[in-house]
Structure 1
Amino acid sequence: MGNVFSVSISTNDIAGCCDCTTARANYICKLAENRVTLRTELQKLRELKNDVNRKVDVAERQQMKRMDQVQGWLSRVEAMETEVGQLIGDGAETIEEKRLRGCCHPKHCISSYTLGKKVARKLQDMATLMSEGRNFEVVADIVPPAPVEEIPGRPTVGLESTFDNVWRSLEEEHVAMIGLYGLGGVGKTTLLTQINNHFLKTSHNFDVVIWVVVSKTPNLGRVQNEIWEKVGFCNDKWKSKSRHEKAKDIWRALSKKRFVMSLDDMWEQMDLLEVGIPPPDQQNKSKLIFTTQSQDLCGLMGAHKMIQVKSLTWKDSWDLFQKYVGKDALNSDPEISELAEMVAKECYGLPLVIITIGRALASKVTPQD
């Protein structure tokens, strides 16, 4: 007797095979339709990308930083644009092949199936990108301030030894507060600027370096705002707080940090506690430097070290004066150089006065001028 084989095929198996065959057939049958949809969805994705980019541009102009997930999404969209552009080009080649070989040619069926499958998957990927892009409620975040921010300023002239003295004093444990005093225009602000910027060039153990201009008529509320911009989030809501509330916030923030506080142009005694500044000492290892025209104010503030910023020597004064007057003006007439020296001596070694007058004389080419 011959052998008899029995094969059992369930309805589910047949349905599964049919579904699989139908799906594969759809890759080919819907290729033309899906290519059109692909172009449309790509345009929508580009429009959404442009919308997100505009939001990012606005935020970055406000000194905010785009979020990593937004940057990642933008990069994926750019990659998608390239891949879809390639698929659209491949589709054009497949259509041309169909025209030349006929729609039933085996090679055309294989290429249409492969392309159709890629197009269908790209449509799914683009739908995912569209969903992600629409869900961005925030595209950028506030950038925390740098521990040290560079302050624009001109180089010091003739103050190198004073700079070294101040820097050595900052490294002394028992010196927590330094008062820099001297005549107006002698270079105290320039010196303090260079000290601030030097923290960018050297290693140190401070968490934050803060610069605040106090001025002759101090506004403690403004001083508090400038300090809080370095240690907190100084928005309109915070600015509307009372001075006492601000002081408590500043105190809490600075008490947790090792800081350097630079207060420029002080004219009267300031109560640090009223502002919220913890008095620097050997325990918290913080430092405070201030500039003033009054040596007495250094004592009233309790400075551990008072350093006088002196006028320039005649050599430094004359070199600085010549730099700003210029060789053309000095060499234009034999009497000019002699008159220039007389004028330079009347500046009393004050860099600000020398620079101001030197610039004013730069255009004078005759003694009468």
Structure 2
Amino acid sequence: MATFDFGKLLDRIWDAASIYLARPRSRVVDLHRDAELLKAKLVDFNGAIDEAVRNGKTVTKETQLWKRRAETFVSEEVDDAIQRDYRAMRCLGGWSWNCVSINRIVTKKLKEVKELISQVDVSRVTVTQLLLPPASVELPISKNVVGMQSNLIQIVNQIRDENASVIGIYGMGGIGKTTLLKLIHNHEEISKLKFQHVVWIVASKGCKLQKLQTDLAKKVRLNLEDDESEDDRASKLCNFLKEKNCLLFLDDIWESYELYKLGMEQVPAENGKEQKRKVVVSRRAASKYALK
């Protein structure tokens, strides 16, 4: 026959009463302290995530989940609301039924914020290193191409020249500029130049800078947000490529673009050694470079 422990029931009732009927001051203070700590950790956490993304890493699902939960807690402004209610509370003899309501909310939120704080270590943000893309993927091209060997060798030599940063192929439509560009891209000498990224992008008429930035970022596996400005995207590309050797092929460009907004400007790296950034373009108009 089952027995009922009336004493344990009383103990549970007393424990609950001691929480919900007590004056809430100490719990309100604890919640405010922990909420401020969580805000500080979230700021540091976001900084660590941004740094990881700039270095070509992706944040794990677990990290993203904690970030969303912490941001939700902060955005609800529970601490501020409780602070206002507590200051407005008028207790008769130091207590009123408002104490029950405040204690109930504070107890729940204290548990939630302490759990969030215990789950994160800002000094060790969990990220997963993306597999580096291959430096270059051979482009499909007809094997029956003839008459381009001289130009091919000339331009490959210019790519090898440390003083050349932008190389242009100009001419009328249909004369084989894209074919020549592909031959250069696939040339065995290019693989010997130790470029960490060899990127092929088709610009075409009407192509906007933002699309070029997006296409380049995808090829080097850098995350860009859709709502970022051109300058923000340029900053991310520059920071990501500043210590990398990169060869960019831009086929069929019509517009004028600024190299630094593609992260391809020649600047000294932080270690004092200038990295190789080369751009080879094809365009129809035999005019000044469409890059500056």
User: Which structure has the bigger radius of gyration?
Assistant: 1
Higher relative contact order (CA 8 A, sep 6+): 2
- More helix as a share of residues: 1
The TM-score, its normalising length taken from structure 1, stands at: 0.40
The TM-score, its normalising length taken from structure 2, stands at: 0.49
